[in-house]
Amino acid sequence: MEKFTTHTGVAAPLRASNVDTDQIIPAVYLKRVARTGFEDALFAAWRDDPDFVLNQPEYAASTVLVAGPDFGTGSSREHAVWALMDYGFRAVLSSRFGDIFRTNAGKAGLVAAQVDQKVVQRIWDHLAEHPGASVTVDLEARTVRAGEGVEAVEDSFDIDDYTRWRLMEGLDDIGITLGHEDDIAAFEATRPSWKPVTLTELIDTLAARFEGNRKAAAHALESVLDTITREVARGEKVAITGFGSFEKRVRDARWVRNPATGERIKAQATAIARFKPGAELMGVVSGARKLPETAIAAASDLLPDAISDRLPTARGASATSSTTSGTASGAATSTAAKTSSPAKKSTAKKTTAAKTTASGSTAKKTTATKSSPAKKTTASGSTAKKTAAKKSSPAKKTTATKSSPAKKTTSSGSAAKKTTAKKSTAKKSSPAKKTSPAKKTSSTSTSGTDGTTSS
């Protein structure tokens, strides 16, 4: 808004009282959406009269309007002030103004100087004698003067201090608000967290996800909000998994009661926007569920392994543990496979008692560390690998008779009769390193090719 201190310009006499805002600018011009370009609407109903004061060439360039009492009364419309200013007026003199008009004038930069009606009449007389004469409005001194010398008309006018200060500083409502910018920033910084988050605060929070780029954060947020708004306005339901859904609902026409009069009136059908929170959002808010992982942890799943491995995410940890467990289980499987095999497969090999004891040595201390689950123990414990003989028929379920604990199993030239495994289910099997020796194991009787019988 332009500052106003002192202004001198051609004065136009408007010899009329009770000029309301509808006469200043007819209502038909209020449909415009702009705030400028209303000069053609000023006193539109009177401009068709060739004798109207503004149609006189000497007053065509007027910047000071000298009006009668009760100027600017009636309907409250800022357009009346805008029309006067668009035409070129900087000040209006009158003995009495409409309160709302005077307030609107001060906010827009138009001086509404209230002077005595006798002063107004003297200025009218002066302008009648000197058409196109100038009038000076001194806001700093709060005086108005027309003419020079002994014919001069000069007097003071009334204007409140606050409006005078605003006009002299050139401050409209926005300018006054910006004058408190530091206080506003301090207030927002100390604003309680339990109060609703403003759009500015949300952008600041989101900017952290964009490496501090507030412009990018604001664009992203506004794009999402604009998309949701447009889709819902079209009647589409926008559902975000876990978060919630936005949709348009139509409330049918219905009878309601006027809260002021109590009279029943019919309300028209209206469309409303509705948001329904999702299960995940409700769970997080209520505390039943934990917040999801951070954005970088979630985003790492979308990155190549070469990149995501460098990120401190849970994915790397789970991969490590998975690899470890896989290695361990693989090792255990390999050990079990090497140490022993299921009874059916261990006896499939052509083992004979003669070859088992050919060396005449006792079985090495078969301990639990090398024994396998009951289902996978072999006929000769840890020496199962060395019991392979070349000319024996397979005993499908070969077990040794009179078997003793694996730790003390010995042989003296006889077959390894006492160390075969009994049939057991896989559910009770355990890794080879943790099983205890099968004490006093027994199984169904089988006979080998050499005539020996095991039970």
Residue 294 pLDDT exceeds 70? no
Residue 382 lies in a domain: yes
Share of the chain above pLDDT 90, in %: 46
Q: Is the pLDDT of residue 454 over 80?
A: no
> What gap in Å lies between CA 360 and CA 372, rounded to an integer?
25
What ranges in 190-313 are assigned the alpha helix state H? 199-207, 214-233, 279-286, 295-300, 305-308
Q: Which of 165-174, 217-226, 372-381 has the lowest mean pLDDT?
A: 372-381
Q: Which residues pair with 10 in a beta bridge?
A: 134
* Greatest extent of the chain over all pairs of C-alpha atoms, in Å: 156
CA distance 378 to 441: 11
Q: Specify if 168 maps to a domain.
A: yes
Among 150, 176, 202, give the residue marking a domain's end.
176
Buried b (16+ CB within 10 A) or exposed e, 374-410: bbbbbbbbbbbeebebeebebbebbbbbebeebeebe
Domain presence at residue 225: no
HSE (side-chain half, CA atoms, 13 Å) at 104:
19
Query: Dihedral of CA 60/64/67/71: which sign?
Result: positive
* pLDDT tens digits for range 432-442: 444 444 444 43
From the list 363, 364, 367, 371, the residue with the least C-alpha distance to 346 is: 371
Rounded to whole angstroms, how far apart are CA atoms 425 and 289?
A: 41
Dump pLDDT digits (tens) for 379-407.
343 333 443 334 444 444 444 444 444 44
Whether residue 31 is contained in a domain is answered as: yes
The predicted structure's pLDDT at residue 291: 79
pLDDT of residue 34: 86
Average pLDDT value for residue range 306-315? 44
Convert the pLDDT of each residue in 215-270 to its tens digit: 999 999 999 999 999 999 999 999 999 899 999 999 889 888 887 788 888 888 88
For 45, residues 6+ apart whose C-beta sits below 8 A from its C-beta are: 23, 26
**Domain boundary, last residue among 131, 159, 176:** 176
Q: CA–CA separation, 109 vs 304, rounded Å?
A: 63
Structural domain span for residue 48: 6-176
Query: How large a percentage of the chain has pLDDT more than 70?
Result: 64
Q: Domain count for the chain, please give it.
A: 2
Domain assignment present for residue 133? The answer is yes
Whether 42 is in a domain gets the answer yes
Q: Has residue 329 been placed in a domain? A: no
Which of 148, 176, 204 corresponds to the end of one domain?
Answer: 176
Would 281 be classed as within a structural domain?
A: no
pTM of the entire predicted model = 0.49
Contact between 374 and 406 (Cβ < 8 Å): no
CATH number, domain of 102, equals 3.20.19.10
SS3 call for 333: helix
Q: Are 64 and 39 spatial neighbours (Cβ–Cβ below 8 Å)?
A: no
Confidence at 205, pLDDT banded by 50, 70, 90 = confident
